[in-house]
Amino acid sequence: MTAKKKARIAMIARFLIAIAVLVVMLFPVYWMVTMAFKPNVEWTPTTGETFWIPQDWTTANFTRLFGIQEDGAASFLVSTPIDAMPSIWHSLIASIGGTLLALLAGVSTAYGISRFKAGGGALPFQILQLRMFPPIAVIIPILFLWTYLQLFDTLIGLILIYGAVTFPFVVWLMRSFFDEIPREIAEAAIVDGCTPFGAFRRAVLPLVRGGLATTALFVFILNWSDFLIALVLTDANTQTAPVFLSQLRTAGGQEFGAQAALAVILVSLPVLISIVIQKHLVRGLTFGAVKR
Amino acid sequence: MARIELVGVTKKFGLFVAVDNFQLDIPDGSFVALLGPSGCGKSTTMNMISGLEAPSTGEIFFDGKLINDVPAGSRDVGFVFQNYAIFTHLSAFENIAYGLRVRKTDTAEINRRVLEVARLLDIEPLLQRRPNKLSVNDLQKVAIGRSMIVEPAIFLLDEPFSNLDAGFRGFMRAELKALQRRLNQTMIYVTHDQVEAMSMAEHIAIMDQGRLQQYGTPDEVYSHPANRFVAEFVGSTKMNFFEASVAEGSIRLEMPGSQPIPLTGVEAGFVTLGIRPEFLHLEAPSDSAPWRGEVDLVEPLGPRTIYHIRSGDHRFRVSAPPTLDLKTGEAVGVGVDAERIHLFDNATGLAVR
Amino acid sequence: MADITITGVSKKFGDIVALNDLNLHVDDGEFFVILGHPGAGKTTTLRTIVGLEQPDAGVIQIGGQDMSGVMPGERNVGIVFQNLALYPDKTVYDNLAFPLRQKGREVSKQEIDQRVRGAAETLRISALLDRKPGKLSGGERQRVAIGRVMTRAPEVYLLDEPLSALDALLRMEMRSELKRLQHELKRTLIYVTHDQVEAMSMADRICVLVQGAVEQVGTPSEIYDQPRTIDVARAVGSPPMNLLPLTVDRSQGLCLRSTTVLFNGSADQNLSAITDGDLVHLGVRPEDVVIGGDAASCPFTARVMAVEPLGSETIIDLDVQGVIIKGSVLPTAQFAPDESVRWGVRTDRIHLFGADGVSLYTAAGQAHMTAAAP
């Protein structure tokens, strides 16, 4: 067998393996999306056949989320109306708020560490240590603390905890983006007359736009998908969407269809955001600034 | 030790022709420099010889054997890169030994050969250090050692000294040249620095825009450039170029106060006249001086001084001994060594004389 | 007036001493070059002048005014960094205009436009104003970096190895361009480099910096012909000055000898500082080494180690008792490796350095020594 033929077979094999892996990974997503559009009949088919593709597409599951009752929504017995809107709202506010808080604190910390070696060698590691505690290990003490501070079941409380928990990620990610910017760019701006903060804002920050967008998106996803913290630290007043989803059962039983539909909605938001900010996720902004 | 031949080698990246119909014959055991400005195709040519790239068309032969389809790992070529590509997690010793370990050489043999190479390169005391504790200069030596130790038939070096400081560069050049002579290895050296090429190579292949411009000894390339590009590129002080016309057995420039210079054996017409600064000399301004002008800029270099002379719209450089202490604005006469004039065709750039 | 005076400046980074009691004066309007090896403290010196580093001790004065506590933006100094540091997200126009748009500078839009276009024209980059740095060649980026300083029109220009990343041909062109530019602008320009050709060809005065301190300041010819120490002597000239270690022998007048060479001092010589048995270094530049001449000019013999043809000259390496002496000969001369040749030196151009590296004697055109075979 010639080297060329061997190479071709290897390439095809690699391709097939990649396809197999892709199928395995994407199947749950596929299933979830199709489930959201299936009517009750196809959820619990009496004939025992599996509906790989919904035959009777319906949006009843989605409308059910917002209080509208229709035939065909997938649950054992359609009974009391449910409203997912408040929980989605809470999720949005808490996630966005937490992300902004983490960014505000984290970006300036990261710049301080990168440019001025703030905190000596120890600070970056100490910040990272914060995140080494899995939240589940400290969530009970935090519950006590939050209750004491009267932050339990408040949006402010959620925003604060989300910000704190994702702050180390922001520092960690942004620090490496700042490290790539040569210090002379900020210095050139200073020599041109900027204050150190002005130099940061006008000369350096525009260069890490891509990194900032990536970090913001990453942190937002972390907050948006959080289940544990919200479960413990909220109650009826500020319930977030993931918690709402997990508790979606009425007298009629577990609302599979509504759950699938809500899941689809929740997953699609980060995807949409990524598409919108796509061009900011492009690297290569610093090319040409310095000699290599 | 291997003879390398490139026959009609062309490399295209899409529509971009990086190397165009390259023809070269490198005898066994010689030191050849591939010289040219950035983007001229020299690194691409190097990559094709080493096997990292395949030519679009053309053949490459090592010792008469066609090696186009031989993968890079099997070609018995040693490669030293510009940014030394050293493994940062291994000590200097391990870096050099790497090639042998991959080939499963036994430990005693590895030790012996690494020490030998280290002695050759004068880095014995540094063998146990990690790369982050070594200077740039020593890192480059480790890189060379790493390629050397497997005793490849051919050594390819891609601008290996461009990251080193000027003083050390000169030293490494001499070391490399001595090394090559001792090992009698075929060495191909890629550079954009013509001083480097001139001082080290037995033969220089000058490239521009993917094409071979001239292949010859340093002296040939300097004194008998094949075309205008080579004439301009080679030489520590750029050659001067003038537009001139040949008629009736002499050549003259459109420069105020310039006399025609007698010239035979050249067709009448318009040409470009080239002459190196050291073949012009300054004298007192008088009517007998072939050219005239005034000093525009003075560049003292130590052993000689470069005077930028202006004559009308023309500007050119003359190399003169430092004792001639001329000032800006002084009027001078310029003598021309007619034996050292080069003429280039205006359209093709080829040397006519 | 934009003269610069540095008095007693020292600077340490942790354990590393970057500047060691630096004393320097740059005249107004001068093209001043600081020459030194990497690590000598050249960049640190520039950064201290511009104010990006604060000296641990000493005073920097610009135009007679003490600059302690003055922000870099207020010092009326412009700097071109070694890696240029252009703003990559801004167009060339905005890069040039940036300094004029800062708070505290009341510059009208028209004037900004005028200054930017004026600088662009002088630097011949007017066609590039709408491009971003990523789309420029090395030489073009270089000019933009200079332009960004020009628009501010400071009194002092600082350039940190601006040509080191350009290829050889471009470097040559930029050298003469920079010199011409400085003449036109008539501003004080401090230029830092490790390349001695740049220093020699462009400077009004050169300052040789060794390990954070000034070794010598002088015009190019002073530095070249009258170096005060070995470091200065070897800092300029390519190939660098040859140094031959010799022992002093005063038993018969003044002799400097080694096993292969012998120099006799004439009666006019007065080197009282050295005594019998002392080690001195004979310094001779490659162009002052004579190879292949008659017995009178070439009393010594040696073996040729290497031949380097450079086009306009050929460098011959000679083996003198294990020391390599480089001589420069005309390209027409033919020597081959391992050949044995006669050689000598121009005794009116030699230097003598003590064991401590300080110059004891410079021939400076007068031949007080004679060379003879030992």
Q: In this structure, which amino acid lies at residue B63?
A: D
Query: Model confidence over A143-183: pLDDT tens digits?
Result: 999 999 998 988 999 999 999 999 998 998 898 889 888 88
β-bridge partners, C34: C192, C207
The pLDDT of residue A283 is 54
Does B250 map to a domain?
yes
Average pLDDT of the segment spanning A6-28: 91
Closest partner residue to A289 among C52, C86, C103, by Cβ?
C86
| A-C contacts at Cβ under 8 angstroms | 84
pLDDT in tens, B87-135: 878 888 888 888 888 888 888 888 888 888 888 777 888 888 888 888 7
Of C236, C240, C309, the CB nearest to B219: C309
Average pLDDT, chain C: 87
CA distance B280 to chain C (A): 13
CB-based contact C73 A289, cutoff 8 Å? no
The two structure tokens encoding residue A55:
């035959």
Q: What's the CA gap between B8 and C76, in Å, rounded?
A: 59
Q: Mutation target for C interface from A116, A187, A192: give the one with most C CBs within 10 A.
A: A192
Q: What class, spelled out in words, does domain A87-258+269-281 have in CATH? A: mainly alpha
Beta strand extents in chain B (DSSP E only)? 4-13, 16-26, 31-35, 57-62, 65-66, 77-80, 154-158, 186-191, 203-208, 211-216, 240-247, 250-253, 261-262, 269-275, 280-283, 291-300, 305-311, 314-320, 331-336, 342-345
Most confident of B18-27, C173-182, C213-222: C213-222
Q: How far apart are CA A265 and CA A242, in angstroms?
A: 11
- Asked if residue B70 and residue B15 are part of one domain, the reply reads yes
Q: Do C134 and A187 touch (CB under 8 A)?
A: no
CATH code of the domain in which B156 resides: 3.40.50.300
Is it the case that residue B13 has pLDDT exceeding 80?
yes
Asked if C311's CB is within 8 angstroms of B165's CB, the reply is no
- Cβ–Cβ gap C84/A289 under 8 Å: yes
Q: Is B238 close to C37, i.e. CB distance below 8 A?
A: no
CB contact under 8 A, C172 and B237: yes
Nearest residue of C to residue A199, measured between CA atoms: C102
Question: Each residue of C123-148: pLDDT tens digit?
Answer: 888 888 998 888 888 788 888 999 99
Closest CA–CA distance from residue C77 to any residue of chain A (Å): 8
Output the six-digit token pair for C201: 């060809």
- In this structure, how many other beta carbons lie within 10 angstroms of the beta carbon of residue B305? 23
A253-262, C57-66, C312-321: which range is least confident on average? A253-262
Q: Does the structure show a pLDDT above 60 at C267?
A: no
Question: Do B223 and B244 lie in a common domain?
Answer: no
> Measuring CA to CA, which residue among B29, B27, B62 is closest to residue B181?
B29
Does B265 or B7 have the greater pLDDT score?
Answer: B7
> Given pLDDT bands bounded at 50, 70 and 90, which one contains residue C79?
very high
| pLDDT tens column, B306-347 | 999 988 888 899 999 888 888 888 888 888 888 888 888 877
* Out of A105-114, B243-252, C17-26, least confident range: B243-252
Tell me how close the Cα of A284 comes to any Cα of chain C, in angstroms.
9
Kind plus residue range of the DSSP H or E element containing C69: none
- B248: in domain: yes
Residue-wise burial string across A153-175, b where 16 or more C-beta atoms lie within 10 A, e elsewhere? bbbebbbbbbbebbbbbbbbbbb
Q: Which of C26, C1, C49 is nearest to C217 (CA)?
A: C26
**Closest Cα in chain C to A190:** C73
3-state secondary structure at position C240? coil
In a shared domain, residues B127 and B184: yes
CA neighbor of B130 nearest in space, from B76, B169, B83, B87: B87
Instruction: From residue C52, give the alpha-carbon distance in Å to each of A18, A117, A193, B207.
Output: 53, 16, 12, 44
Helix (H, G, I), strand (E, B) or coil at C30: coil
The answer to whether residue C342 scores a pLDDT higher than 60 is yes
C-contacting chains (≥3 CB pairs under 8 Å)? A, B
- What is the DSSP secondary structure assignment for residue B259, as one 8-state letter? P
pLDDT at C33: 95
Angstrom distance (rounded) from CA B222 to CA B201: 13
A160-174, A195-209, A276-290, C314-328: the lowest-pLDDT one: A276-290
CB of C311 less than 8 A from some CB of B: yes
Give tens-digit pLDDT for A181-206: 888 888 888 888 888 888 898 888 88
Q: What is the pLDDT of residue C137?
A: 82
| Residue-range domains of chain C with CATH | 4-235 (3.40.50.300), 242-372 (2.40.50.140)
Other C-beta atoms closer than 10 Å to the C-beta of C171 total 17
In this structure, the answer to whether residues B93 and B201 fall within a common structural domain is: yes
In terms of domains, do B25 and B157 share one? yes
Q: Which of B165, B198, B302 minimises the CB distance to C310?
A: B198
Q: Residue C318: left (phi > 0), alpha (psi -120 to 50), or beta?
A: beta
* Gap from B125 CA to chain C (nearest CA, Å): 22
* Cβ atoms of B51 and B71 closer than 8 Å: yes
Domain boundary among B227, B250, B266: B227
- The CA-based diameter of chain C, rounded to the nearest angstrom, is 81
pLDDT band at A285 (very low <50, low <70, confident <90, very high): very low
From the list C73, C83, C88, which residue is nearest A193 (CB)?
A: C73
Q: How far is C71 from chain A (nearest CA, A)?
A: 8
What digits encode the pLDDT tens for the residues C202-259? 999 999 999 889 999 999 999 999 999 999 998 888 888 999 998 888 777 778 888 8
Average pLDDT over residues C32-46: 90
Residues B222 and B245 in one domain: no
Of the candidate ranges B51-60, B158-167, C107-116, C346-355, the one whose mean pLDDT is the lowest? B158-167
- Co-location of B221 and B269 in the same domain: no
- Tally of structural domains, chain B: 2
E-state strands within chain A: 249-250, 253-254
The interface residues of chain C toward chain B in range 41-100, judged by CB-CB distance below 8 A, are none
Residue A4 has a pLDDT of 72
Full residue range of the structural domain in which residue B187 is found: 4-227
Give the residue from A149, A162, A190, A179 showing the smallest Cα distance to A105. A162
Q: Kindly report the CATH number assigned to the domain that includes residue B330.
A: 2.40.50.140
Q: Quick one: B77 and B210 in the same domain?
A: yes
The CB density around residue A2, as the number of other CB atoms within 10 Å, is: 8
Q: A198 touching C, CB under 8 A?
A: yes
Q: Dihedral of CA B67/B71/B72/B75: which sign?
A: negative
Residue B271 pLDDT exceeds 60 = yes
State yes or no: ipTM above 0.85: no
Sheet holding C300-309, edge to edge: C289-291, C340-345, C300-309, C314-320, C323-329
Residue A198 has what pLDDT? 87
Residue A45: per-residue pLDDT:
66
Q: Is residue B234 part of a domain?
A: no
Residues B28 and B173 in one domain: yes
pLDDT at A289: 43
Does A120 contact C at CB distance below 8 Å?
no
Contact (CB<8Å) B237/C236: no
pTM given for the model: 0.80
Residue where a domain terminates, one of B172, B199, B227: B227
State the smallest CA–CA distance between residue C97 and chain A in angstroms. 10
Residue B66 to residues A1, B41, B60, B69: CA-CA distances in angstroms? 20, 22, 6, 8
